[in-house]
Amino acid sequence: MGNDEKGAWRQLWGTFFGKTWPMWAAGILLALLNVCLFLVKSPWGGSGTYINWGENIYSMLKVIDLPNLKPVLSHTYGLLGLLTLLGAFAGALMGREFALRIPPPGEMLKGFVGGVLMALGATLGIGCTIGGFLSGWAALSGGAIILAIGFLVGTYIALRYLFWEMENLPKMSAGKSYNLLAAKGRRGIWQPVLGVILVVFLLIAFGRHFQDNNILAMFAIIGLVIGIILQRSRFCIVRAFREPFMTGESEAALGVMVALVVGIFGFTVIKYMGVGTSTPGAARALAMTWVYPHFWVKALIGGTIFGLGMTVAGGCAIGTIWRAGEGQVKLWFAALGFMLFAPLSKKFIVPGFTHILPDWAQQKVFLPDWFGYWGAVLVFLILIVLWYVFVKWNERTGRFSAV
């Protein structure tokens, strides 16, 4: 191989793994993969991963009896989350960005507490930033709008607390941080080599393991790709809600907006055309996919609690997974808090919470039932345009920054 060919391959590698991908491009790719997941079985979700992981832990420890529990590799979202984690690990390795980043004890505590709050919010409000918001808006769910409002409220309150903490409890996050296994110079070549080996191994291993189950095979492959995209682009829904109140920066919000627009059109075509259905009942069931009974109080309370948790932890359900994959130990503790508390909340807290709420506070609201399909799409597009106008105005003026 000549020098020119070697240079071309290095340039190609550098394009994908030598720099951070544009967040808007990641938004398009992630939305298209979400549409693929919907076509395969059901849309992208994040909290289901933690519930399945946590239930498997409790079942293994014989703490909770779960007779119908599916193992992680047999559960679509347990598997999807696992491969997203491994994909983020592979992406970090191939970009020479993996390192064990160990923060002070106070930060690890905040990660765990944030994970617990996210677990409580996701189970009470029936949704996280991925399943409840990104997929919920694409599914034209009215409850998803209220959930997003809750995220905003929770984020604002959490930021106010964090600013107060910096002024009044500076020792909370004080202490020495450690950075281990980082790639350094030529010796860091082990990371991209290991990353390539890991991807090849996963494709072969899961391809063989799921050769008789096309659905799980597709969830595994798509999860792996999602993990790589998330890590390489640093796609972050927490930043989309947080940055307008901090730096005013709008890049993350724009990336999420692009993902929402692509997802809305993709999901609408599937639902409107009744893809894969042959009867009116099946078409209606498809249309109601990802439309949960949480409009409006349930979504508002759950979204607010989740917004608190994701801001304190520094990552939402899926952001926690990809950051954990690249070695951020604080997010390991967030994931631990999420998966340990989510099954407990689902089993012991949610039933009572659901029982005390009146029916009008926890309805299924499918916006096309009110406005028709294209009217509902227009409602969501208007909301996205208003969000865009706000973040660009705030980026320019700084009016709501540094709350």
Segment among 51-60, 109-118, 241-250, 320-329 with least mean pLDDT: 241-250
DSSP strand pairing (178-180 vs 363-364): unpaired
pLDDT digits (tens, 9 = 90+) for 311-370: 999 999 999 999 999 999 999 999 999 999 999 999 999 999 999 999 999 999 999 999
pLDDT of residue 151: 98
Q: Identify whether 44 is part of a domain.
A: yes
Q: Could you tell me the pLDDT band of residue 187, with boundaries at 50, 70 and 90?
A: confident
Q: Could you tell me the pLDDT band of residue 290, with boundaries at 50, 70 and 90?
A: very high
The reply to whether omega before 360 is within 30° of 0 (cis) is: no
The answer on pLDDT for 387 being more than 70 is yes
Mean pLDDT of the 142-169 span: 96
Q: Could you tell me the pLDDT band of residue 67, with boundaries at 50, 70 and 90?
A: confident
pLDDT of residue 403: 60
Q: What burial letters (b/e) apply to 227-265, b meaning 16+ CB within 10 Å?
A: bbbbbbbbbbbbbbbbbbbbebbbbbbbbbbbbbbbbbe
Q: Which amino acid is at 120?
A: L
Q: Which residues contact 9 (CB under 8 A, 6 or more apart)?
A: none
**Could you tell me if 287 and 359 are in contact, meaning their C-beta atoms sit under 8 angstroms apart?**
no
Mean pLDDT of the 284-310 span: 98
pLDDT of residue 184: 86
pLDDT of residue 185: 83
In the predicted model, what is the mean pLDDT of the chain? 95
Q: How far is CA 190 from the centre of its chain?
A: 29
Find where tokens 């919920």 sit: 136
Q: Identify whether 8 is part of a domain.
A: no
- CA 207, CA 221: separation in Å to the nearest integer? 9
Q: Identify whether 86 is part of a domain.
A: yes
pLDDT of residue 61: 93
pLDDT of residue 2: 60
Q: Identify whether 329 is part of a domain.
A: yes
Q: Identify whether 23 is part of a domain.
A: no
The structure's pTM equals: 0.96
Q: Identify whether 359 is part of a domain.
A: no
In three-state secondary structure terms, 288 is coil
pLDDT of residue 64: 83
DSSP character string of 214-242: HHHHHHHHHHHHHHHHHHHHT--HHHHHH
pLDDT digits (tens, 9 = 90+) for 95-120: 999 999 999 999 999 999 999 999 99
pLDDT of residue 1: 59
Mean pLDDT of the 147-167 span: 96
Q: Identify whether 135 is part of a domain.
A: yes
pLDDT of residue 16: 93
Mean pLDDT of the 62-90 span: 94
Other CB atoms within 10 A of residue 1 CB: 7
Q: Between 68 and 129, where is the model more confident? A: 129
- Tally of domains in the chain: 1
Q: Could you tell me the pLDDT band of residue 3, with boundaries at 50, 70 and 90?
A: low
The residue segments making up the domain with residue 125 are 33-349+365-394
pLDDT digits (tens, 9 = 90+) for 116-138: 999 999 999 999 999 999 999 99
Q: Identify whether 3 is part of a domain.
A: no
